[in-house]
Amino acid sequence: MTDAAEYVPPKVWTWNKENGGRFANINRPIAGPTHDKELPVGKHPFQLYSLGTPNGIKVTVMFEELLAAGHAGAEYDAWMINIGQGDQFGSGFVAVNPNSKIPALMDRSGPTPIRLFESGSMLLHLAEKFGAFLPTDAVGRAECLNWLFWQMGSAPYLGGGFGHFYAYAPTKIEYAIDRFAMETKRQLDVLDRRLAEAEYLGGDEYSIADMAVWPWYGALAKGMVYGAGEFLSVQDYKNVIRWTDQIAARPAVKRGRIVNTAKLPERHAASDFDRAAEDASAAAQ
């Protein structure tokens, strides 16, 4: 590979499949399916095709919260999409999400199936459908949506920017790490100041804004992503840590965060969590 300092961009960019980056095998400059593959469909009204990454967890936490709040119509089947093996480029998946990224969701509860892509779109769809986790007064609703969309715009700087250059890029580029570490710390400070004045991001109530932000910035504040806790001095963001711990203690969050992970690759019924817990205790003995 050319030294970053010596790199002179050619007149026309061409696709170098061997760029050495961690995700070189799945990154492509073109959209659309690479192979034919139908998606499985289970018995529940919602069919989720996802993986237990921060973006996936947002939606499984929402489903578990809805079910815990008594919305029986929120029953869902969660199928695992292995993005490392290119499942997101199968024809069935691309038909649900033309952007080929998890999570992807089908709402089959009505006469016409509705496809949903982008986790923020799913959270809003579910919140409106069930009348839950989205304040109904104009001020509260606006503040909740402010933070929901803040996450959608901000997290790519954390994941695609900081995380990529700090943890995954084949060479450590000081300029890139500096730029994105600065932005990531600024974002943590934005959250810290908000959480100094309010219990939750939207205000007094736990909402879809917290569900969207927590899997990324909560994990970051606990030093659980990119091994970057010490580098970013995350212990300084005391209000983010208070909020992170508060949300992590919610039973629905504990369930939602293990869906589509090695602990529970697929979820089709509430009893699946008992089985996952039994498996974990058997493995520990």
Ligand X SMILES: N[C@@H](CCC(=O)N[C@@H](CS)C(=O)NCC(=O)O)C(=O)O
Q: How far is the CB of 51 from ligand X (least distance, A)?
A: 6
Residues, the chain, total?
A: 285
Lookup: tokens for 196: 């100094």
Nearer to ligand X, 148 or 239 (CB): 148
Q: Cα(253)–Cα(257) distance, rounded to whole angstroms?
A: 6
Nearer to ligand X, 22 or 242 (CB): 22
Q: How far is the CB of 35 from ligand X (least distance, A)?
A: 14
Closest-by-Cβ residue to ligand X is 101
Nearer to ligand X, 83 or 96 (CB): 83
Residues that bind ligand X (CB under 6 A): 26, 53, 55, 83, 88, 100-103, 118-119
Nearer to ligand X, 211 or 276 (CB): 211
Give how far Cα 52 sits from Cα of 23, 82, 196, 209, 277, Å.
Answer: 17, 10, 29, 18, 17
Residues contacting 87, CB < 8 A, separation 6+: 37, 81, 93
Q: How far is the CB of 116 from ligand X (least distance, A)?
A: 10
Q: How far is the CB of 102 from ligand X (least distance, A)?
A: 4
Q: Cα(171)–Cα(177) distance, rounded to whole angstroms?
A: 11
Nearer to ligand X, 55 or 239 (CB): 55
Q: Cα(172)–Cα(191) distance, rounded to whole angstroms?
A: 28
Nearer to ligand X, 146 or 233 (CB): 146
Q: Give pairs for 267-270: CB < 8 Å, separation 24+.
A: 267/60, 267/76, 267/77, 267/78, 268/42, 268/43, 268/44, 268/77, 268/78, 270/67
Q: How far is the CB of 114 from ligand X (least distance, A)?
A: 16
Q: How far is the CB of 277 from ligand X (least distance, A)?
A: 25
Q: How far is the CB of 256 from ligand X (least distance, A)?
A: 15
Q: Which amino acid is at 237?
A: Y
Nearer to ligand X, 56 or 203 (CB): 56
Distance of CA 143 to the CA centre of its chain: 21
Q: What's the half-sphere exposure (Cβ side, CA atoms, 13 Å) at 132?
A: 17
Q: Cα(280)–Cα(167) distance, rounded to whole angstroms?
A: 29
Helix count (H) and strand count (E) of the chain?
Answer: 10, 4
